[in-house]
Amino acid sequence: MKCPTLFDALQGLYKGRIYIAANHSAGNPKPKGADYQAHAFYSDDHGKTFKLSETISFEGSNESTAAEISGGRVMFNARNQQGDVRARIVAVSSDGGVKWDTTYFDHNLPDPVCEGSILTIGKNKTHNILAFSNAADTRNRDNLTLRISFDDGKTWTKQYLVDKSKNGEKDYTAYSDLVQTGRHSVGVLYELNGYQSIVFKEIIWKY
């Protein structure tokens, strides 16, 4: 399992924009994957042509995923390939994901240098509701957790353990992808037991 959600079709101010989170390597290989940097492809003509977004400023940003938040903004979420900070890299754009207003490490989303998945699953009166899954551990690919945010990803107030090793097995849970299965349910597809299995589990979330 290598690729998270392939693309998003934005619904707000930039309705119809096809948006694909991606990454690239720039120049010669650097230690700890510092040559990796994340970006996106986007199309406003139904996929006839695509343009490149601005590159995420953090070196080592890799295996990115994106979701639409309120006001036509886009939230980018990527792993830190360098591993010096064991948290997700987050960037926010106010122009539909073309340029980035701010980029930061979200220490509320610990990460062991692994893929993660983010998805818009609803709205409330002022914000979009987001779901995020990853191996929520700073050392090992384990403790796969689904988190829910009710304020455009500023905070993650609900968390649900999807799967976790019982005896400290190596790489017990790794990559994951999300799909909305109902108004208050999210499906999680994920790697399990050292990449030997792919499992689907539905999680019911509550306000």
Could you tell me if 115 and 4 are in contact, meaning their C-beta atoms sit under 8 angstroms apart? Answer: yes
Total domains in the chain come to 1
29 within some domain: yes
In terms of residue numbers, what domain contains 94?
8-204
| Pairwise CA distance, residues 124 & 127, whole Å | 6
> What's the pLDDT tens digit per position in 124-134?
999 999 999 99
> What's the pLDDT tens digit per position in 15-60?
889 999 999 998 899 999 999 999 999 999 999 999 999 999 999 9
Q: Is the pLDDT of residue 3 over 70?
A: no
2 within some domain: no
Provide the pLDDT for residue 2. 40
Q: Is the dihedral of CA 61, 200, 152, 106 positive or negative?
A: negative
3 within some domain: no
123 within some domain: yes
Q: How confident is the model at residue 8 (pLDDT cuts 50, 70, 90)?
A: low
134 within some domain: yes
Provide the pLDDT for residue 15. 86
What is the domain-level CATH number for residue 130?
A: 2.120.10.10
Considering only the C-alpha atoms of the chain, give the largest distance between any 2 of them, rounded to a whole number of Å.
Answer: 51
35 within some domain: yes
| Pairwise CA distance, residues 94 & 109, whole Å | 22
> What's the pLDDT tens digit per position in 131-164?
999 999 999 999 999 999 999 999 999 999 999 9
> What's the pLDDT tens digit per position in 166-184?
988 999 999 999 999 999 9
46 within some domain: yes
Which amino acid belongs to residue 207? Y
Q: What is the mean pLDDT of residues 198-204?
A: 98
189 within some domain: yes
